[in-house]
Chain A
Amino acid sequence: MSWHGISTVARLELRQRARASKWVVVLAIWFAVIALVSVLSYLALNDPDARSGAAMYDVVIFFVLGLGMLVVPSLTATSINGDREHGVLATLQTTLLTSADLVLGKLLAAWAISGAFLVTALPFLAWAWVEGGVSVGRILLAVVVLLLVLAVVCALGLMFSTLTARPVASAVLTYLALGALVFGTVIGFGLSAFLVNKEETVRVYGIPNDFFDQNEPTYDANGNFVPGAERVPTKADCVEHDETRNVTHTERIWWMLPLNPFVVVADAAPSEPPANPDQGMGFTPMRWISEGSRAARVGETTELRQECWVDGPAGQQPVDPNAAAAKDAAVWPFGLVFLLLAGGGATAVAERRLRTPIRRLPNGTRIA
């Protein structure tokens, strides 16, 4: 393996892509589609009370990720078995290029192209920044995480193109694998939530249920409500007591969520919450996903639940300790590490499958 070898393969790939397909046209369409989505989301979400920058940022980032996951597999998922079909792989394998040169060169070329797609989206992220609500740091972090996620997508496609003889099969497998990451994790989380849901006795500090039994509203003989006779609970009525409740232990299944590339990107760089909560939250799917998956990681509390939801003389609302814990319970590092390991593993598998001389030849594969 050498940089010279990798760059030779990467240059060959890029030159082929640049000429063989109409990438300029594809990039132009991509740019136009993002522009359209940005303008529409600006018009739809431009609310003088909320900061529309955050909403635009969320829409553009998710759109780039979603569209990227559709486009990027076409760069690598047919790359190696396609070369085999054209009879151009073996002519490189008999040169001094190693299998690692071939795999890393192809990966680098595909990654560079997906980077080009990302770059065309930058003007719209800049627009979101101008609108306010997101910092440059957040945008940069999101772009870096996006680049890493797209590299993993490239690597997965490359691996599948070494595993099947036909390009169609590897393209389908790549999309299935991405579908499993995007939809499978959410479906898996939703379905297994049922498994970790059970009735449990929890300790609550609040108004006991029997308070209302003992203080039923009074009615006269005609069945009319007699006001003033019932008692309104006050802070003084809050006591510690046991209650039987449905508890969902999401802290046992939260790990499925960060396997999802959307969760990784959303949780890595959600827009900052507004300084003034009364300013309105706006449409911020990335922050919702981020907060939701962090809450899932922390799960429901095992400690005493502060549920004395009555206005006492002190006028203070009790704070849920888990909400505070969830703020620091980032899930994206787990997801990013998982995705990078998967990408690294996929690259290693692809490299192994390209080693020559070949001992075992899979069915239907041709060498030259």
Chain B
Amino acid sequence: MLTEGGPTSGGRGIEVAGVRRAFGDVLAVDDISLTARPGEVTALIGPNGSGKTTLLLMLASLLVPDRGTVRIDGHDPVTAPAEVRARIGWMPDGFGTWDALTVREVLETIAAAYRIPAPQARERAEALLHTVHLADLADRRARVLSRGQKQRLGLARALVNDPSVLLLDEPASGLDPRSRIELRDILRSLAAEGRTVLVSSHILTELQEVADRAVIVARGRSIETQQLDGEAVTTALASWRIDSLDPLRLTEFLTSRHVPAQQVHGGMVEVEVAGEENAARLLTDLIGAGVRVTAFTPTRGALESAYLAATEDRQ
């Protein structure tokens, strides 16, 4: 659907080791290391100002790191920017566009900038417009697009050169729910074609469904890499919210079982349980003990819990 020939085989994805970058006195990226493998969607998550965008600028061959190394499919963006640029598709946060050009012309111009001959460029633009559902707006000025539509055009723009590595900075921001689901499907199919996909985002629930692994960054440092496969989800510490008709008996039961619990508004109780297996057991025991449970729901995903734990100490 998205490719003509598929990405160049033998891609090695993104390898970042000990990267640092300061702007004057401001240390934007202190020490970030990460690996994003071909065939996987890697999420880059972290609070505002944690250095995600700066890191992506360095990966996109726009900024030289002060220290550390970056490799895109084995190429260094500093010494071999042309090789890197041929392989990457970069979608910046807050995508600007040439106001006077139509949506189709934007894509054809980018194709020309990649030295794609005009006939192929037209075909490519047409195919991408269908992929991101902008075909009916193809001959409108890019200026009149809504924010979400501009984001989709930005994604199409990043795919023009059939890149093997995708760097997407907040691609879901401004998208309506349907577009988000479509974005998720696009990202999954891009990864399935063997591409390396790195997505930075705040929307954790979205990422949990699409990403294979998550790199959490805070204050310019990579804190941890979280596997997001099935096993990780079933064993990770997660938070569950319990509501019952007998709040008193519920708290007594939890205290007797030494389950760390927390009262939240509306008489509900929140507990931290490691893994779905343990959660199911807790529910069985509660009912066995005669507590009349009316609700037992996860409040946060594993990714959200990990994110909050990692960024807890922020000022």
The answer to whether B115 and A357 touch across the interface, beta carbons within 8 angstroms, is no
Docked complex: A152-168 residues within 8 A CB-CB of B: none
State A367–B61 Cα separation when bound (angstroms): 11
Which stretch (A230-238, A253-261, A358-366) binds chain B? Answer: A358-366
Kindly provide the distance from the CB of B22 to the nearest chain A CB, expressed in whole angstroms: 10
State A95–B105 Cα separation when bound (angstroms): 16
Docked complex: B51-99 residues within 8 A CB-CB of A: 57-58, 60-64, 77-78, 81-82, 85-86, 88, 90, 92-99
A93 within 8 Å of B by Cβ? yes
B5 within 8 Å of A by Cβ? no
The answer to whether B100 and A96 touch across the interface, beta carbons within 8 angstroms, is no
Which stretch (A11-19, A108-116, A125-133) binds chain B? Answer: A11-19
The answer to whether A357 and B61 touch across the interface, beta carbons within 8 angstroms, is yes
State A359–B21 Cα separation when bound (angstroms): 10
State A139–B23 Cα separation when bound (angstroms): 53
Between B58, B92, B98, B110, the greatest number of chain A beta carbons within 10 A of the residue's beta carbon is seen for B98
- Select B95's contact among A15, A20, A87, A94, beta carbons within 8 Å: A87
B254 within 8 Å of A by Cβ? no
The answer to whether A367 and B113 touch across the interface, beta carbons within 8 angstroms, is no
State A8–B106 Cα separation when bound (angstroms): 12
State A85–B93 Cα separation when bound (angstroms): 13
Docked complex: A3-26 residues within 8 A CB-CB of B: 4-5, 8, 11-12, 15-16, 18-20
The answer to whether B98 and A16 touch across the interface, beta carbons within 8 angstroms, is yes
Chain B residue with Cβ nearest A85: B96
State A242–B304 Cα separation when bound (angstroms): 100
Kindly provide the distance from the CB of A165 to the nearest chain B CB, expressed in whole angstroms: 13
A317 within 8 Å of B by Cβ? no
Residues of A within 8 A of B157 (CB): 91
Q: Contacts A94-B88, A357-B58, A357-B63: A5 and B96 contacting too (C-beta < 8 A)?
A: no
- Select B96's contact among A18, A20, A88, A358, beta carbons within 8 Å: A88
The answer to whether A367 and B114 touch across the interface, beta carbons within 8 angstroms, is no
State A95–B62 Cα separation when bound (angstroms): 11
Kindly provide the distance from the CB of B157 to the nearest chain A CB, expressed in whole angstroms: 7
Chain A 329-362: CB-based contact to B (< 8 A → 1; otherwise 0): 0000000000000000000000000001111010
B109 within 8 Å of A by Cβ? yes
B271 within 8 Å of A by Cβ? no
B308 within 8 Å of A by Cβ? no
- Select B64's contact among A5, A8, A86, A359, beta carbons within 8 Å: A359
Kindly provide the distance from the CB of A115 to the nearest chain B CB, expressed in whole angstroms: 21
The answer to whether B62 and A16 touch across the interface, beta carbons within 8 angstroms, is no
Counting contact residues on chain A (CB < 8 A from B), the size range is: 20 to 34
Residues of B within 8 A of A86 (CB): 96, 99
Q: Contacts A16-B98, A94-B88, A367-B62: A361 and B23 contacting too (C-beta < 8 A)?
A: yes
State A94–B62 Cα separation when bound (angstroms): 7
- Select A95's contact among B23, B57, B96, B110, beta carbons within 8 Å: B110
Chain A residue with Cβ nearest B23: A361
B282 within 8 Å of A by Cβ? no
A169 within 8 Å of B by Cβ? no
State A361–B86 Cα separation when bound (angstroms): 24
B24 within 8 Å of A by Cβ? yes
The answer to whether B78 and A357 touch across the interface, beta carbons within 8 angstroms, is yes
A92 within 8 Å of B by Cβ? yes
Residues of A within 8 A of B114 (CB): 95-96
Kindly provide the distance from the CB of B63 to the nearest chain A CB, expressed in whole angstroms: 5
Chain A 65-96: CB-based contact to B (< 8 A → 1; otherwise 0): 00000000000000000000011101111111
Docked complex: A272-305 residues within 8 A CB-CB of B: none
Q: Contacts A87-B92, A358-B63: A92 and B113 contacting too (C-beta < 8 A)?
A: yes
The answer to whether A358 and B62 touch across the interface, beta carbons within 8 angstroms, is yes
Residues of A within 8 A of B110 (CB): 91, 95
Residues of B within 8 A of A28 (CB): none
A64 within 8 Å of B by Cβ? no
Kindly provide the distance from the CB of B52 to the nearest chain A CB, expressed in whole angstroms: 13
The answer to whether A15 and B105 touch across the interface, beta carbons within 8 angstroms, is yes
Residues of A within 8 A of B115 (CB): 2, 4-5, 96
Kindly provide the distance from the CB of B230 to the nearest chain A CB, expressed in whole angstroms: 36
State A91–B110 Cα separation when bound (angstroms): 8
Residues of B within 8 A of A95 (CB): 85, 110, 113-114, 161
- Since A8-B112, A88-B97 are in contact, a sample of 15 more A-B pairs with Cβ atoms closer than 8 Å, ordered by chain A residue number, is A5-B113, A16-B100, A86-B99, A90-B60, A91-B110, A94-B61, A95-B110, A96-B113, A356-B81, A357-B58, A357-B63, A357-B64, A358-B64, A359-B64, A367-B63
29 of the cross-chain contacts (CB-CB < 8 Å) are: A4-B115, A5-B113, A8-B109, A8-B112, A12-B109, A15-B100, A15-B105, A16-B99, A18-B100, A20-B100, A86-B99, A87-B94, A88-B98, A90-B62, A92-B113, A94-B60, A95-B110, A96-B85, A96-B86, A356-B62, A356-B81, A357-B61, A357-B81, A358-B62, A359-B64, A363-B24, A367-B62, A367-B63, A368-B57
Chain A interface residues toward B at CB < 8 A: 2, 4-5, 8, 11-12, 15-16, 18-20, 86-88, 90-97, 356-359, 361, 363, 367-368
Q: Which 10 A-B pairs have the closest CB atoms?
A: A87-B96, A95-B113, A19-B100, A20-B100, A368-B92, A8-B112, A357-B64, A359-B64, A86-B96, A88-B96
